[in-house]
Amino acid sequence: MKGVGESLKNEIAVLFDLDGVIVDTAKHHYLAWKQLADELGFDFTVEDNERLKGVSRMDSLNILLEIGNISVSESEKISLASKKNQRYVESISNMDERDILPGVKAFLYELKSNGIPFALGSASKNAPMILKKIGLYDDFSAIVDGNAINKAKPDPEVFILGAKKLNVEPENCVVFEDAQSGIEAGKRAGMKVVGVGDPKVLAGADLYIDTMEDMTLSRIKGLFF
Ligand code: G6P
Ligand code: MG
């Protein structure tokens, strides 16, 4: 007869956000948006930046412009978003496996060696390029990124699609997220959500960790009982 742990094997899956969960890109996004705000003549704080985490590039720009109380034409928006992205891509050009956040590699290894499939669920169109840079591209069973989705987090599309690709029911999936919009997306997908960060900033997760170093497979399984 199968024990509880064994019967769960292959029936659960993990979905990871990228920026701020797998790799330390969140600060590069913030600095590139901040530079744009400086040029447009307004202040953009770390607190304001929480609203942009997990949000698509164009939606982020719209929030930024709303914060600065600035309105621009659609074509100007496209050029501002592309300016931000060029700077962002430039600022992460030297990124490599040293930028993987603490505890991530060990946890992915634990999942892999226990046969637990995992996928990426990110709003970023740069996700495949970043995963290649840090040497994790081939480790994910599936990648759902900003190129594959129509509706940005907090819409659950990105995670629903990830579960589908892994062939696992949404209620058997665990999402790792550092963004409020991502936590909401995971809950709306009917999944368990682990918040990576401060519970005072992030609401609604089932469990909170400071870093992936605090994570083990048995804690994941504990979410289901
Ligand atoms: C992630 C980040 C956001 C970023 C978005 C789009 O969700 O948390 O800060 O704006 O991806 O990223 P991209 O690389 O496509 O501009
Ligand atoms: Mg994130």
Ion ligand 2, residue ranges at CB < 5 A = 17, 19-20, 178-179
Q: Check which CATH number belongs to the domain holding 65 and give it.
A: 1.10.150.240
Q: Which residue owns the Cα nearest ligand 1 atom 14? A: 124
Range of the domain at 119: 4-24+96-222
53 and 120 assigned to the same domain: no
107 and 50 assigned to the same domain: no
pTM of this prediction?
0.92
pLDDT per position as a tens digit, 147-185: 999 998 999 999 999 999 999 999 999 999 999 999 999
Domain boundary among 54, 71, 92: 92
What residues line ligand 1, using a CB cutoff of 6 Å? 19, 29, 52-57, 60, 85, 122-126, 146, 179
Q: Which residue owns the Cα nearest ligand 1 atom 1? A: 54
Domain boundary among 69, 92, 115: 92
| Residue 1: Cβ-neighbour burial (10 angstroms; 0-12, 13-18, 19+) | exposed
20 and 82 assigned to the same domain: no
pLDDT per position as a tens digit, 23-45: 999 899 999 999 999 999 999 99
Count how many domains the chain has. 2
Residues with catalytic function? 17, 19
Q: Which runs of E-coded beta strand occur in 72-179?
A: 118-121, 142-144, 173-177
112 is in an annotated binding site: no
124 is in an annotated binding site: yes
Q: Which pLDDT band holds residue 54 (cuts at 50, 70, 90)?
A: confident
123 and 37 assigned to the same domain: no
88 and 113 assigned to the same domain: no
